Structure 1
Amino acid sequence: MSKARSVTASGVRGGGSPHRRRSGKARWYLPAALATDILGVALPVTLVFAGTGQPHPVPAALVGTALWTLVRAARHRYGSGALGESRGVIPALHDWLTLLGLLAVVRIAAGETSDPVTALLALSFAPLLTALCGKVTHRHLTRQRRSAQSVHRVLVIGEPAAADEVVERLASRTDHAYVVTGVVPVGSAQLTSGVPAPARIGSAPPARGEQDWVPVLGAAEQLAADLVLVVPGPRISGERLRRLSWALHDSGLPLALAPGLTDVAPRRLRTSTVAGLPLLHVAPPHRQGPQTALKAALDRTGAALGLLLLAPVYGLLALVIRLDSPGPVLHRQTRTGLDAKSFTMWKFRTMVVDAEQRRAELAAANEQDGPLFKMRRDPRVTRVGRWLRRSSLDELPQLVNVLRGEMSLVGPRPPLPDEVAQYDEVAMRRLAVKPGLTGLWQISGRSDLSWDESVALDLRYADNWCLRGDLDLLARTFRAVVDGRGAY
C-alpha cells in the first residue's frame, strides 16, 4: 500500500523534476471560509434585526461581522495549515462563544438596547454555516489527498528499518498531507517499503571536512521535496543532525523529526530545552481528576435526559419487536468494562432467542479476524433486528448502563468476556477507560473494521480522550448512524 501511494504521488507530481514545487491546497478554501463567515453574521443579523424592529441593524451587523472574523483570524482559522483540516463543529462553537462574550462587552459599553434573545437567534447561524463550510472543504481535501493532490512531498532520512516503519505508517492513512516520495537510507541495509532511494549516506559520521548532507540535498532537489523528515537513530548523532539541519535550512528546506511515538494527541506534548538538549514531554492520559469527574457527570445527566425523552420510542420499539418474533424485548449480555470488571449490558433483542446456542455452528462463517465474531448476513438476526442494527436503535437501552456508571456515552466498544480472554497486554489497555455507547469505532466503519483497526482506535481513544473530543465524537456519531455503514 505504501509503495503504491508513494509511486503514484511521484507520478502525479512529476518526481524527478530538478526544481522543488510545493503542493498547496485549493485556492478557493480561503475565499469560501471568509465569505461564509462574513455572510453568516452580516446577512442574518441585518434581516432579523430589520424584520423585528430592532435598532441599528446595519451597525450591529458590521460590528458582529468584524468581531467574528477577528476571532476566527486570531485563532488562525484562515491559515493554510487550518483550512480544510477540521470537519468538527467544536472549533466553530468555541469561536462563537468567544464572539458572544466580546459582543456582551461591546453591548454594555455602547448602551445597546436590542433584544438579547433576538440577537442570539440572529448570531446562531454563524457557527452552523462555518461548520458546514469546514465540512465541505474537508471532504474536498480528503478526496484530493486520496489521489495524491494537495499534499506535501516528503523525503525521509533514517536507518532502513526505522525509515520503512515511518513510510508504512504514513502510507496507511490518507487523512494527512504527507506523501513519501523518497528515502535516503543511513547505512548499507536494504529498504523493504519499495520507495525510491535516490541517495544513501554512510553509517559512520563524516570525517572532519567531509559533508555527507550533499546527497540529501541532491535527493531533495531531484524529488522536488517539500519537507525532509528525519528518523533519529544510533547512526544519526546529535552533531550530525545539527549539521544536516544547517544545510537543509540554508537551502530553504524545512526539517521535521519523527521521535518514534505513535497515536499521542498534540495536546499531550510539550517541548523544552535543558542544557541545550531539546526534550519532548508527554503528559499522561486522563484517568482521574476534574475532567474525569465532569465526564461522569455529563454521562449520567445525558443518559437520564435520553431515557426520559426517548421513553415513547422505547415503547414503540418494544411493540415492534414483540410483533416480529417470539421472545423477550430486551437482550442482556455479560460484557467487560473498566478494569476488566464484568457487567450486564442491555440491548433491544435483534436475534432469535436461541442465537447464543447457534453461534458455535456458525463459527466457520465468521467474517472477522481476531476474537470478534461478525457475519454480514447472520441468519440469527430477525427482520426487525436487521433494521435496528443498521439504525443503531438496538443500542438505546445501554443508556441504563451509562446511568448506572457501568458505561460512558463515549468510549471503546464493550467487549465480551471470551474476547478479553484472548487479549494480549496491548489490547488489555482498552479496559483502562469505561466502554462507550459510541466511540471512534462507531464513526469509522464499525463491523467493517478489522480486529487490529478496532484495537488501534480504542487504544487511541483510551490514551487521548478529552471532553472536547467526546463532544465532537457524539456529533459525528449522528452522521454515522444515518449512514449505517458497517452496521450489521
Structure 2
Amino acid sequence: MQMSVVSRVPEVVRPRPDVARRSIQVVDRQASDASEWRRRHARALLVGDLFVLGIALGTAQLVRFGSTAAPQVDGLGVSYPALGLVLAAVWWISLQIHQSRSPIVVGHGPEEYRRVIVATFRVFAVLAMISLALQIDASRLYLATAFPLGLVGLLVERKLARVGLHRARTHGAATTKVLVVGGARSATQLARWFDKHPTAGYAVGGVWIPDAHAPVARLDGSTGEIPVMSASLDFAEALTVSGAGAVVVTDTEHLGHESLRDLTWQLEGTGVELMISPNVLDVSAARLHLNDVSGMPMLHLSEPQHAGADRIWKRAFDFVGAAALLVLLSPALLVTAVAIKLDSAGPVFYRQERIGRHRAPFRMTKFRSMTVDAEQRLDGLRTLNESDAVLFKMRHDPRVTRVGRFIRRYSLDELPQLLDVLRGDMSLVGPRPSLAAEVEQYSVQMGRRMYVRPGMTGLWQVSGRSDLSFDEAERLDLAYVDNWSITGDLMIMLRTVRAVTRGQGAY
C-alpha cells in the first residue's frame, strides 16, 4: 500500500474544529446508514437469546416433570411454567445489563462470550441467595438442567451469529467506513490491518491530516484509492468525502488536545463512533488498562504474560488434558499405528530433535508420515521448497506415504506428542516446536518464543497452518508468548478442532 501524489493544494489552512451545522445532517445520514446493520444484528440477538432461554427452561421442565402438569414451587406459590417465564425474563435482562449485545464487543474477541457467562452466573447466584433468604425449595434437577443448557445454548447461538456476521463482512457487507485522523503512515498501517482482517467490520474510507503541509494524496487500499485530505478541508467536509460512519484518531499530536475535545463535541448526537488507536499491535486487551493520572487518562501497558505460562496450574492443565485426550483418542491412535505399519516399511513413530523451553533440546514424537529414506531424499528436493524460510514445505511431497497424506491432513500425526506433554517437554498450547537450524537464525526478538514450552497447537496452527508465511507464523508465536492466558489457551484449543476438521493448510 503506497502513497502516490495526485494533486497539490494551496497554502495550508488551519483545521476548523467547530463544524458548521450545515454538515451535521450529512454526518447523521452517513452514521445512520453505517449503523443499520448493527441495529439488525442487535435485534437478531435479542430474539435469539429469548428463543434459546425459552428452549432451555422448557427442556428443564420436561426433564424434571415430563409431560405431566408441573406442580407449584415450594415456598413460592407459583407454578414452574410461571417460574420459567420470570427466570427467562430476568436472564434476558441480565444479558442486556451486562451489555453482551453491545456493538463494541459483538464479533470481536472473547469479551462477548465472557459477558454472557458473567451475566448467566450472576442470575443464578442471585437466585440462590433469594431462595436461601425466602426458603424457596425449587427443584435442583430443574435448575441443574436449565443453567448449563441455557449457557451452552447462548454461547452456541452467539457463535453462529458471529459466523454469519463474519461471512457478511468478508463479502463487503456489514462494514463501517472509517475516517482516520492522523498521519499518513499510521493510516496506511491501519488500512492494511483492516484489509487483512475484514471480519473486524471496518474499512478505511479516508484520511484527514488536520495540520498537513503536504499535498493531497491517496492511499491504495483493497477497495480502491483512499483519499488523504489536508487542512484545506474542515472536519465535516472530510467526513463527507470519506463517507465514514466512524472516526479513528491515530496520532493525537496532529490534532492537539483541545481540538480532540472539540471533535468529540462535534460528533455528539450524530451516531458516529469515535475511537482512539494506541498504535499497538499483537497486544491483548487484557494487558491494556486505562488509568486516571491527575486528571489525564493514561493507557497503561502491563508486562508480557509469558511468566504465567510457567505456573503450576498451567502444567496441571497440560497434564490432565493430555492424559484425558490419550484415553479418549486411544482407539484412533491404535488404528493409525496399524495403518502406518501396513502401508509402508519402517517404524510407526518418528522422533526428531527439537528445541524446547530455555533452548533445551528434546526428542519430539510423531506418527511416521514419510518413507524411511525421507532425509536422504531431501537434498534432491531443496529447489522445490515452497516455504520462505529454513523450513522445507512442499504441497505434493513425494516422500509422504498414502496413510501419511491422510494423517497429515487431519493432524493425526501430531497425536503422539501427547506423550511429550505428559513428560513436560511440551504443552498442549504454545509456539511451534523449533528445529536447531531455525533457532540458530533467530533474532533477539524471536528468541522470546523460547520462554515457554512449545505446543501441540498454537495461534499459527489455527490461523492458516502451512499456508502462512514464516514471518507471519513467528509473529503469531510471539503474540502468544506476550499475551498468554489460560482463557486464550482454551480458545485456541476450540479453534484447533475447527482447523483440523477442515483440513486446510495442512500438507
Unpaired segments ≥5 residues, structure 1: 4-16, 202-211
2:212 counterpart of 1:193: no
Conserved? CA contact 2:60–2:142, under 8 Å? no
Conserved? CA contact 1:49–1:119, under 8 Å? no
Moved more, 148-157 or 38-47: 38-47
The aligned residue for residue 395 of structure 1 is: 414
Please give the alpha-carbon distance, in whole angstroms, between the structure 1 residues aligned to 2:163 and 2:437. 39
The aligned residue for residue 165 of structure 1 is: 189
Please give the alpha-carbon distance, in whole angstroms, between the structure 2 residues aligned to 1:255 and 1:114. 47
Moved more, 258-267 or 286-295: 286-295
* Aligned counterparts, 1:40-59, within 5 A: 40-51=55-66, 55-56=71-72, 57-59=80-82
Secondary structure at the aligned position of 1:273 is classed as strand
Matched residue type, 2:31: R
- 1:53-100 Cα offsets, whole Å, 9 max, x none, are 774431342343234323322321133334444688666555544444
**CA shift in 2, pair 1:378/1:112, >3 Å:** farther
- 1:316-338 Cα offsets, whole Å, 9 max, x none, are 32222111111111111111222
Unpaired segments ≥5 residues, structure 2: 4-25, 73-79
Please give the alpha-carbon distance, in whole angstroms, between the structure 1 residues aligned to 2:309 and 2:355. 25
The aligned residue for residue 385 of structure 1 is: 404
**CA shift in 2, pair 1:106/1:376, >3 Å:** farther
Equivalent of 1:258, from 261, 270, 277? 277
Please give the alpha-carbon distance, in whole angstroms, between the structure 2 residues aligned to 1:315 and 1:401. 18
What's the TM-score, normalizing by structure 1?
A: 0.85
The aligned residue for residue 339 of structure 1 is: 358
Deviation, 1:251, is 6.9
Please give the alpha-carbon distance, in whole angstroms, between the structure 2 residues aligned to 1:326 and 1:135. 45
Moved more, 326-335 or 43-52: 43-52
Conserved? CA contact 1:36–1:133, under 8 Å? no
Deviation, 1:313, is 3.3
Please give the alpha-carbon distance, in whole angstroms, between the structure 2 residues aligned to 1:399 and 1:162. 43
The aligned residue for residue 75 of structure 1 is: 98
Moved more, 269-278 or 324-333: 269-278
Conserved? CA contact 2:355–2:434, under 8 Å? yes
* Aligned counterparts, 1:234-313, within 5 A: 235-249=254-268, 253-288=272-307, 292-313=311-332
Deviation, 1:170, is 2.2
Secondary structure at the aligned position of 1:193 is classed as strand
**CA shift in 2, pair 1:149/1:479, >3 Å:** same
Please give the alpha-carbon distance, in whole angstroms, between the structure 1 residues aligned to 2:318 and 2:67. 39
2:33 counterpart of 1:33: no
2:365 counterpart of 1:353: no
Please give the alpha-carbon distance, in whole angstroms, between the structure 2 residues aligned to 1:461 and 1:145. 26
2:437 counterpart of 1:418: yes
**CA shift in 2, pair 1:95/1:380, >3 Å:** farther
**CA shift in 2, pair 1:432/1:351, >3 Å:** same
Deviation, 1:235, is 4.5
Between the two proteins, the alignment pairs up a number of residues equal to 464
Equivalent of 1:147, from 167, 171, 176? 171
Matched residue type, 1:263: D
Matched residue type, 2:97: A
**CA shift in 2, pair 1:224/1:192, >3 Å:** closer
The aligned residue for residue 87 of structure 2 is: 64
Please give the alpha-carbon distance, in whole angstroms, between the structure 1 residues aligned to 2:434 and 2:160. 35
Moved more, 60-69 or 376-385: 60-69
The aligned residue for residue 341 of structure 2 is: 322
Moved more, 308-317 or 88-97: 88-97
Deviation, 1:159, is 2.2
What's the TM-score, normalizing by structure 2?
A: 0.82
The aligned residue for residue 7 of structure 1 is: none
**CA shift in 2, pair 1:289/1:410, >3 Å:** closer
The aligned residue for residue 132 of structure 1 is: 156
Matched residue type, 2:152: L
The aligned residue for residue 31 of structure 2 is: 21
Matched residue type, 1:158: G
Moved more, 228-237 or 163-172: 228-237
Conserved? CA contact 2:215–2:230, under 8 Å? no
Please give the alpha-carbon distance, in whole angstroms, between the structure 2 residues aligned to 1:415 and 1:451. 12
Deviation, 1:307, is 2.5
Please give the alpha-carbon distance, in whole angstroms, between the structure 1 residues aligned to 2:338 and 2:143. 45
Matched residue type, 1:173: H
Please give the alpha-carbon distance, in whole angstroms, between the structure 1 residues aligned to 2:270 and 2:497. 48
Matched residue type, 1:21: A
Deviation, 1:365, is 1.2
Matched residue type, 2:243: A
**CA shift in 2, pair 1:191/1:337, >3 Å:** farther
**CA shift in 2, pair 1:241/1:118, >3 Å:** closer
Conserved? CA contact 2:308–2:485, under 8 Å? no
Conserved? CA contact 1:332–1:345, under 8 Å? yes
Moved more, 353-362 or 322-331: 353-362
**CA shift in 2, pair 1:464/1:389, >3 Å:** same
**CA shift in 2, pair 1:95/1:367, >3 Å:** farther
Please give the alpha-carbon distance, in whole angstroms, between the structure 1 residues aligned to 2:236 and 2:94. 41
Moved more, 382-391 or 158-167: 158-167
Please give the alpha-carbon distance, in whole angstroms, between the structure 2 residues aligned to 1:477 and 1:454. 15
The aligned residue for residue 238 of structure 2 is: 219
Secondary structure at the aligned position of 2:391 is classed as coil
Among the aligned pairs, what percent are the same residue? 37
The aligned residue for residue 474 of structure 1 is: 493
Please give the alpha-carbon distance, in whole angstroms, between the structure 1 residues aligned to 2:2 and 2:473. 21
**CA shift in 2, pair 1:192/1:198, >3 Å:** closer
- 1:143-193 Cα offsets, whole Å, 9 max, x none, are 221233222221112222232222222222112122110112333167563
Please give the alpha-carbon distance, in whole angstroms, between the structure 2 residues aligned to 1:380 and 1:299. 33
Secondary structure at the aligned position of 1:221 is classed as helix
**CA shift in 2, pair 1:235/1:198, >3 Å:** closer
Please give the alpha-carbon distance, in whole angstroms, between the structure 1 residues aligned to 2:115 and 2:258. 41
Please give the alpha-carbon distance, in whole angstroms, between the structure 2 residues aligned to 1:83 and 1:248. 23
Matched residue type, 1:199: M
Deviation, 1:399, is 1.0
The aligned residue for residue 7 of structure 2 is: none
Secondary structure at the aligned position of 2:48 is classed as helix
Secondary structure at the aligned position of 1:256 is classed as strand
Conserved? CA contact 2:31–2:270, under 8 Å? no
**CA shift in 2, pair 1:177/1:350, >3 Å:** same
